[in-house]
Amino acid sequence: MRALDSAYLTSSTFEGRTGPLPRVVSTYGRVPLFYFLVHFAVIHLLAVVVCYARFGQVHWMFESPSFAQFPFTPPPGWGFCLPLVYLFWAIVVCCLYPVCSWYAGIKQTRRHPWLSYL
For residue range 54-111, list pLDDT tens digits in order: 888 887 777 777 777 666 677 777 788 899 999 999 999 999 999 999 999 888 888 7
Q: What is the pLDDT of residues 27-61, one digit of tens each?
A: 888 888 999 999 999 998 998 898 888 888 887 77
Q: Are the C-beta atoms of residues 34 and 103 closer than 8 Å to each other?
A: yes
pTM over 0.85: no
Q: Are the C-beta atoms of residues 38 and 96 closer than 8 Å to each other?
A: yes
Distances (CA, A) of 42 to 11, 13, 95: 26, 29, 10
